[in-house]
Amino acid sequence: FLVKQLFMDWTLGEHYFSEKLIDYDMSNNIGNWQWMAGTGAVAAPWFRVYSPDSQQKQYDPDYKYVKQWVPEFGTDQYPAPIVDHKFGRERAIDLIRKGRK
Q: Report whether 5 contacts 49 (CB < 8 A).
A: yes
CATH number of 10-100: 1.10.579.10
- pLDDT at residue number 80: 92
Determine if residue 38 is left, alpha or beta; phi over 0 gives left, psi from -120 to 50 gives alpha, anything else beta. Answer: left
- The CA distance from 48 to 93, in Å, is 8
- pLDDT at residue number 58: 94
Q: What is the pLDDT along the chain (101 residues), one digit of tens a residue?
A: 888 888 899 999 999 999 999 999 999 999 989 988 888 777 767 778 888 888 899 999 999 999 999 999 989 999 998 888 888 889 988 988 888 88
Q: For the CA atoms of the chain, what is the radius of gyration?
A: 15
Q: What's this model's pTM, rounded to 2 decimal places?
A: 0.70
- The CA distance from 37 to 92, in Å, is 11
**What are the domain boundaries of the chain?**
10-100
- The CA distance from 23 to 25, in Å, is 6
- pLDDT at residue number 48: 80
